[in-house]
Amino acid sequence: MCTTYVVFMQQALIYKYVEGIVDIVEKAVAAVEAGDVCALGAQMTHAQHLFDANCLPNCPSELTSPRLHTLINDAMLNELCVAVKGVGSQGDGSAQLLCRTPELQQQVRVCDANRVGSCLFAASSVLLTSYCIT
C-alpha cells in the first residue's frame, strides 16, 4: 500500500512538471519570436524552479545538483545574466546562461575565464553555454 502511494505521488509530480513545461515552452517561443530576452529569461527561470519542485524529489541523489545551484545563485552571474538554468538531465552537467546583450555575454566569458581555479568552476564539471538574443 505505501509503495503504491509513493509511486503515485512520484508520477503526479512528473505529470505536474510536464503540464507546466508545455505552458513554459509556448511562452518561451513567443518570447523568442518577439525578441523579448527578459520574458525568455523568466520562462527559463520558471522551468528550473518547476523542475526542482517536481522532478528533483523523485531522485534527489542524482538531481540535487549542488554545483548547478551554486551557479544559479552566483551573485556575479545574476548581475550579468537574465537566466541561469540546468539543461540535459539536470545532474550538475550543463547549464545555460542567457544574457541581454553580446557585451554581457562576453563579460560572462571573461568572468568564467578569470574564475577558472575557483571552487565554482574548477571543482565542477558544469559546461557553461551562454546565449544572447539580439
For the stretch 26-52, pLDDT in tens is 999 999 888 888 899 999 999 999 999
Buried-state track 17-48, b at ≥16 Cβ within 10 A, e below 16:
beebbeebeebbeebeeeebbebbbbbbbbbb
Q: Using DSSP, state whether 128 is helix, strand or coil.
A: strand
What would the CATH number be for the domain defined by 2-132? 3.30.70
Question: pTM of the prediction?
Answer: 0.75
Q: Are 90 and 123 in contact (CB under 8 A)?
A: no
83-97 pLDDT tens trace:
888 877 676 667 788
Domain boundaries, the chain: 2-132
